[in-house]
Structure 1
Amino acid sequence: MTKGSIADIKISMSAITRILPKRRLSRWVGHFMHWKGPSLWARLSIRGFAWLYNIDLAEAEKSYDQYPSIGEFFVRRLKTGIRPVGTGWAVHPADSKITQAAAIDNGTLIQAKGLTYKLKDFTQDPDCDKKWAGGFFMTYYLCPTDYHRVHSPVDGNITDVRYMPGELWPVNEWSTTNVPDLFSVNERVLVEIETDLGPVGVVFVGATNVGHIVLSFDEKIRGNQKGPHIFEHKHYSPEIPVHKGSELGMFRMGSTVVMLYPPSFRQKFEGHMNLGPSVRVNADLIKNP
């Protein structure tokens, strides 16, 4: 295949994806995935889904035939003890693949080779440079095979949440390498956790076919809902205490988590991070000595 034909295919894919009603399509997919049909349908569809994506049914909290829909199975909890919480300063927030990990220099994050995006646009936090510039970020991609609940990587207190409405572009490899400012354009929810080493940001990034983002500690904040989509900043007083491994929320289909760490974490972790490529939730961020 020539470079010209590859470029034509990329242009065609971009055009098709651009005109798709991505938000409406995502809600339809979400409704279908959570449709509670006959029990036989649920059992067969879940078995087929698990087989297709090579999901280990033995790790699920319940037997597969106890879930009423693919959607409920998709956001399944795991059996107690399946993902023990590490003992270091921080752990990985999700079962996922690490696609990027680098310093946040000049308020810039790396999306893919040749593409970057700005911390200020991504967080919509006027104080973001004070919190995370000079620190480091990590991008976690959750595919359908993965467990889809997101857990706190640190001990601390949840102080703020920002809901940022936006598009629902796919977050696969093609999109990250071809859609400029993808993570700043897509819908996202930023959970800020204050720690002894400074503020840590956990950013849920929405995507096509993500039914919605749900927070475990605040059910009023949800992504991809009907009606007007308005930026929301919520400050918690009193703050909400969390521990490493505490559940923060879930994706109703696959997507991406971007972690933001302050400079104090970078100084402590630089050169020692356990980067995968595939990682498990609650595993230590620092490599074992």
Structure 2
Amino acid sequence: MKPRFFRRLRDRLLQQEDLNFLLTNRVPRLALTRFMGWFSQLRHPWVSAASIGVWRLFTELDLSDARKTRFDSLHDCFTRELRPGARPFDPDPAVLASPCDGIVGACGSALGLEVFQAKGFPYRVEDLFGSAERAAPFRDGCYVTLRLTSAMYHRFHAPHDGRLRHVTHLQGDTWNVNPIALKRVQALFCRNERAALHARLSVGGHPIALVPVAAILVASLRLHALNLLLHGRYPGPHELPCDVPFAKGQELGWFQHGSTIIVFAPPGFSLCEGVVPGQRLRAGQPLMCLPRGEKSPPLAVAVPGSTS
């Protein structure tokens, strides 16, 4: 059967919201996630080729910009690097770039410390961060939700020059984070496994936060700055202070498979033109505009895979 048939079948299943929710949530989520973590790292050429082949049948997997053409495992393909220059980062110092490939979800201005996962489904920033103190700088600020599909590039990068100052790891569940689940599960992002990455920009010392959120089959996160793999069985510590410089476009880490990253900025930031729900973005494209008049030269740090 041709891939087009399987994609039509997938689309029909996705359109059946009750069935979609049942198949992706009313299952033993943590057990399936742990199994996938084990299975995806099996290093055997037949297993790898068969797994990637099935994956291609149900998704628009595009490996044309991957650095490698052969993969040792399904995990190796999920966490693939790209060819140099495949994701150029916008060099404008007045632009906060998208840290990852993704589909824009809920976005805009926070109402105090309240933001939305979907229309009519608010959640509190302090619940997401696990700290009212760390949420405070983002009161009435700007936020963007970026959902990564399974076929997308799963590494994420620094949206601007700055320093990573603190990481909070929060253990949790592995609900699916697709639009159907976001319309049904209250405060879903605050329930799932996640990490809150707090940073300061070189420009104006502005705080920003990136919150990678795990999902079913996806509950581990590699962070280069801390040389850690954060996951549901990670024993701690969960509050991880640091002081690591980064340059715009520099790789910060990757999801083991894929999920969601939520970007927060303080008041004065605004969404760039074209950043609206449903828009597909690539890492490096404009995401937010810094407050007017604040610019500085980029840090002189080499950035693999980008042209910034």
Tell me the TM-score normalized by structure 2: 0.80
* One of 80, 85, 88 as aligned partner of 1:81: 85
Cα distance in 2 for partners of 1:221, 1:45 equals: 24
**271 and 258 in structure 1: CA distance in 2 versus 1, 3 angstrom threshold:** closer
Cα distance in 2 for partners of 1:45, 1:10 equals: 27
Instruction: Determine if the alignment matches structure 1 residue 279 to structure 2 residue 285.
Output: no
Gaps of 5+ in 1: 1-8
Is the deviation greater in 274-283 or in 141-150? Answer: 274-283
Cα distance in 1 for partners of 2:272, 2:230 equals: 36
Cα offset, 1:94, TM superposition:
0.9
Counterparts of 1:113-132 in structure 2, within 5 Å, are 113-132=119-138
Counterparts of 1:49-60 in structure 2, within 5 Å, are 49-50=55-56, 52-60=58-66
Counterparts of 1:86-125 in structure 2, within 5 Å, are 86-88=90-92, 89-125=95-131
**22 and 219 in structure 1: CA distance in 2 versus 1, 3 angstrom threshold:** farther
Cα distance in 1 for partners of 2:247, 2:23 equals: 44
Q: Which residue of 2 aligns with 1:248?
A: 252
Paired AA for residue 203 in structure 1: V
Contact kept, 8 Å, 1:27 with 1:224, in 2: the verdict is no
Contact kept, 8 Å, 2:24 with 2:216, in 1: the verdict is no
Paired AA for residue 80 in structure 1: P
> Deviation digits for residues 107-158 of structure 1, max 9, x if unmatched?
1011111110001111112323431111111000000121001111111000
Is the deviation greater in 124-133 or in 112-121? Answer: 124-133
* One of 168, 178, 186 as aligned partner of 1:172: 178
Contact kept, 8 Å, 1:206 with 1:256, in 2: the verdict is yes
Instruction: Determine if the alignment matches structure 1 residue 155 to structure 2 residue 161.
Output: yes
Q: Which residue of 2 aligns with 1:140?
A: 146
Structure 2 residue matching 1:127: 3-state secondary structure:
helix
Instruction: Determine if the alignment matches structure 1 residue 181 to structure 2 residue 187.
Output: yes
Contact kept, 8 Å, 1:119 with 1:128, in 2: the verdict is no
Aligned residues: 268
Structure 2 residue matching 1:58: 3-state secondary structure:
coil
Quote the RMSD (CA, aligned, Å): 2.4
Q: Would you tell me which structure has more helix in proportion to its own residues?
A: 1
Task: Name the % identity.
Answer: 26
Contact kept, 8 Å, 1:163 with 1:221, in 2: the verdict is no
Contact kept, 8 Å, 1:212 with 1:225, in 2: the verdict is no
Cα distance in 1 for partners of 2:263, 2:182 equals: 17
Cα distance in 2 for partners of 1:11, 1:84 equals: 39
Instruction: Determine if the alignment matches structure 1 residue 26 to structure 2 residue 33.
Output: yes
**286 and 161 in structure 1: CA distance in 2 versus 1, 3 angstrom threshold:** closer
> Deviation digits for residues 61-113 of structure 1, max 9, x if unmatched?
111x2x11111111101000011111232101111100111111121011111
Q: Which residue of 2 aligns with 1:212?
A: 220
Cα distance in 2 for partners of 1:56, 1:71 equals: 16
**286 and 157 in structure 1: CA distance in 2 versus 1, 3 angstrom threshold:** closer
Instruction: Determine if the alignment matches structure 1 residue 224 to structure 2 residue 228.
Output: no
Contact kept, 8 Å, 1:200 with 1:262, in 2: the verdict is yes
Gaps of 5+ in 2: 1-16, 290-308
Cα offset, 1:243, TM superposition:
1.2
Q: Which residue of 2 aligns with 1:4?
A: none
